[in-house]
Structure 1
Amino acid sequence: MKKGVVVVCLLFGMLSVSLAQEVFRKQTVHMGSAFSFVVVADSAAEAAVYFQRLSAEMERIENLISEWRPHTQIAQVNQNAGIAPVKVDREVFELTQRAIRYAELTGGAFDISIAALDRIWVFDGSMTELPSEDLIRRSIERVGYQHIRLDSLNSTIFLEKEGMKIGFGSIGKGYAADQGRALLQSLGVKGGIVNASGDLSTWGRQPDGEPWKIGVSDPFKTYRMKKVLKLYEASVATSGSNEKFAEIGGKRYAHIINPTTGCPSTGLMSVTVWGPSAEFANFLSTSMMVLGKKAGKKLLRQFPEYRADIVKDR
């Protein structure tokens, strides 16, 4: 259940040179994607220490949950699908437990076991016809969160079907953003942003007392800001089809796949969600893309701390 590329901008006003603290920024790469960190600190040297701690935290998380690195706990869970349960850290167990709850909340519109989906859809512009119904049906045979077995007492995960896989491409970066924020808050950093490739968490405020300003671009005109969010302690996540999609017979098919049907989501161009947690906003934005506007808004209403901007496809 891959996410769309999130298009957000961090907007900063002019800061007075008389202010004791400054805003420092760093661009880096983690989880195969561009990350950016922003902290309020007394000096560049102090900020560098925070950036180092953040990078180490991102690497730690990737080494726990990446499905692509063969030594990670999630990779080991996948390698033992249909064979044996795998003991994992409590952190990994609880993240998986929450993901299953998300699946239950959406009737399977969100499902981390979609990692096993056969790649029958291509979103590089080369696809000219739809896969056959039989091919689609066979592609989802190993998908189903109901077959993820958790043993809380022993902290194990077991995938019942051989060939099953789980992956956190849909919420992993949001989780990393939340964890990065929590880490820096524990170190006493007064304000900042952890932007995990568009899934971001903010806290505190800028040195001049202003909130963090997050610009969300128009998916049809990415050079134009559609909305500016003014945030203190909050998170933002976007899912969309504006950059990765297939157009067949005049209809746009998003790269976000519905786990229950094996078909791409249609009808929505993008969903941006903001609220307390980047992980949860990530879950909501992805699920709403799959569910569509009506069912997606019904899901959102269950969580009044979260709001969304929904853009329909044309």
Structure 2
Amino acid sequence: MSDNRVYSYSAVLMGSPILLKLCSHDEAMASRVFQLIKRYEDLLTVNRAESQVMDINHAAGRHPVTVSRPVFQLIQCAKAASMVRDSAFNLAIGPLVKLWRIGFHGHSVPDAAEIRARLALTRPQEVILDEATCSVFLQQSGMELDLGAIAKGYIADRVRDYLRQQQVEKALINLGGNVHTLGEWAIGLKNHLPTRRR
């Protein structure tokens, strides 16, 4: 007889509620997944003074910073996406995110002159990558990487890969809206906006 129960585990990481659903009761596995998420958060965050990404930002305009291979590969992927013609993604958006205080208390629309000044610091072509040394150099002082737009998706991919390595056949991973599944799941979407009557 098969066990069709689903066990849910949750934590708050990366400023978001994290939900992991497994088809076996395995608190140790859930704990290892949350530790993996925390490890990646510690490498990629720009919301704390210390991380590999913040080391790069602090050295902007001064010197390259050597980072771990996974961080380098994510930055390499982010730069490639940023360099696509008419791309809406920009890994060097950090100065504007900080100016607008996006995601923080006290956010507001800044003055147009301030925006123009910060735009000069958001050129992805000025993010110099050296694959041989896994180093990243931001050419101008004041430049900042912000990988927030892709970090959760990247981490969700790594969690999925880890669960596959552990021979987990069915799981649902929700990192604050970035959802991955292993196996078959019935997924429903709900519109929380009020519907208009015609």
Aligned to 1:107: 86
TM-score normalised by length of structure 2: 0.88
Question: Could you say if the C-alpha distance between residues 58 and 131 of structure 1 is closer, same or farther in structure 2, counting changes exceeding 3 Å?
Answer: closer
The share of aligned pairs that are identical, in percent, is 29
* 1:125 Cα deviation from its structure 2 partner: 10
Task: Find the counterpart in structure 1 of residue 114 from structure 2.
Answer: 135
Is the aligned partner of 1:51 residue 2:30?
Answer: yes
Match of 2:140 among 161, 168, 183: 161
Corresponding residue to 1:214 among 177, 184, 187? 187
Q: 1 CA distance for matches of 2:47 and 2:100?
A: 19
The letter of the residue matching 1:119 is L
* SS at 2:47 equivalent: coil
Cα contact 1:120–1:139 (8 A) shared by 2: no
CA distance in 2, matches of 1:78, 1:212: 40
CA distance in 2, matches of 1:122, 1:100: 21
Q: Letter of the 1:133 partner, please give it.
A: A
Secondary structure at 2:41's aligned position in 1? helix
| Matched pairs, number | 193
Q: 1:126-275 maps to which residues of 2 (within 5 A)?
A: 132-204=111-183, 211-218=184-191, 220-221=193-194
What is the match of residue 17 of structure 2? 34
1:119 and 1:156 map into 2 onto residues whose CA distance is 27
Residue 54 of structure 1 and its aligned partner are, at CA, apart by: 0.4
Partners of 2:40 and 2:155 within 8 A in 1: yes
What are the within-5 Å matches in structure 2 for residues 268-283 of structure 1? none
1:32 counterpart letter in structure 2: G
Counterpart in the other structure of 2:99: 119
In 2, the alpha carbon distance for the partners of 1:202 and 1:152 equals: 32
Tell me how far 1:115 sits from its aligned partner. 1.2
Q: 1:106 to 1:40 in 2, by over 3 A?
A: farther
> Is there any run of 5+ residues in structure 2 with no aligned partner, and where?
none
Letter in 2 for 1:184: L
Give per-residue Cα distances to partners, 1:135-193, cap 9 Å, x unaligned.
Answer: 32123221111110000111100001101110211011111111111101100111011
Secondary structure of 1:157's counterpart equals: strand
Give the SS at the match of 1:176: helix
Deviation at 1:74, TM superposition (A): 0.7
Query: Shift in Å at residue 27 of structure 1?
Result: 1.6
Contact 1:121–1:131, Cα closer than 8 Å, also in 2:
no
- Which blocks of at least 5 consecutive residues in structure 1 are unaligned? 1-17, 205-210, 223-314
Q: What SS does the aligned partner of 1:201 have?
A: strand
For 1:98 and 1:199, the matched residues in 2 are separated by: 18
Which structure shows the higher helix fraction?
Answer: 2
Equivalent residues in 2 for 1:15-26, closer than 5 Å = 18-20=1-3, 22-26=5-9
Root mean square deviation, CA, Å: 2.3
How far apart, CA to CA, are the structure 1 residues paired with 2:29 and 2:72?
28
- Once the two structures are superposed, residues 204-233 of structure 1 have per-residue CA deviations (whole angstroms, 9 ceiling, x without a partner) of 1xxxxxx312223326339xxxxxxxxxxx
Q: What is the one-letter code of the residue matched to 1:176?
A: I
Structure with the bigger percentage of strand: 1
2:155 & 2:76 partners in 1: Cα distance? 16
